[in-house]
Amino acid sequence: MISQKLQDAINEQINREFFSEYLYLSMAAAFDDMNLEGFSNFMKVQAEEERFHMMKFYNYLIERGGRVILKGIPDPQSEFEGIIDIFEKSYGHEQFITKSINELMHLAVEEKDYALQSFLQWFIDEQVEEEASMDSILSKLKLVGEKGNALFFMDKELAARTFTAPAQ
Ligand SMILES: [Fe+2]
Ligand SMILES: [Fe+2]
């Protein structure tokens, strides 16, 4: 069994992963609107990853004898100032999620739930990658700007990203 406090916190995290999926899909739609199919593909794959995270928490909570409670998902932002703005917000969002996972870990330590601590370690490591991938695209964009040949090649490069579920 898992404590009520931790159950509530995991349900909250499920909601945040859902929101992440929604936010990245909203960003994909903004890129589709700009005819940047590669950037849109990157965000669609990102949204799939967030769904995978959500289901990982979902399955874990069930496995621990908990109850999954789904709540409403807030509206994601739909209007953006440009490509750099979208990646600044993505990077900022991942930093928010890292904080949220860290707080969950803090709670698991407080509650002496060692199994949850072990489970959360995967997300702690994953967040390092999540932040790094957004930051690296953001840095490149700041270098090349929002127009021109370089952007065209970035769009082509991002079109190649595919989703592969990590080994469990
Ligand atoms: Fe996530
Ligand atoms: Fe993420």
Q: Give the gyration radius of the chain's Cα atoms.
A: 17
Find how far residue 102's CA is from the centre of its chain. Answer: 15
Q: For residues 33 and 27, what is the distance between their CA atoms, to the nearest angstrom?
A: 10
- Collapsed DSSP state (helix, strand, coil) of residue 139: helix
What is the C-alpha separation between 5 and 94, in angstroms, rounded?
Answer: 24
Count the Cβ atoms, other than its own, within 10 Å of residue 160.
Answer: 9
Q: Could you tell me the distance, in angstroms and rounded to a whole number, from the CA of residue 71 to the centre of ligand 2?
A: 19
> Ligand nearest 94 Cα, by number?
2
Q: Which of the ligands is closest to the CA of residue 131?
A: 2
Q: How far is the CA of 57 from the centre of ligand 2 (A)?
A: 13
Predicted confidence at residue 148, as pLDDT, reads: 86
CA atoms within 13 Å, Cβ hemisphere of 9: 18
* Ligand 1 centroid from CA 99, angstroms: 12
DSSP 31-53: HHHTT-HHHHHHHHHHHHHHHHH
DSSP 147: S
Write down the pTM of the prediction: 0.95
Closest C-alpha among 7, 31, 35 to residue 137: 31
Token pair for 48 = 């799939």
166 pLDDT band (50/70/90 cuts)? confident
Read off the pLDDT of residues 56-87 as tens digits, 9 standing for 90 and up: 999 999 999 999 999 999 999 999 999 999 99
Instruction: Report how far ligand 1's centroid is from the alpha carbon of 51 (Å).
Output: 8
Q: What residues flank ion ligand 1 with Cβ within 5 A? A: 17, 50, 53
Nearest to 13 by CA among 119, 132, 134, 165: 119
Lowest average pLDDT, out of 56-60, 68-72, 125-129, 148-152, goes to 148-152
Ligand approaching nearest to the C-alpha of 50: 1
| CA 114 to ligand 2 centroid distance, Å | 24
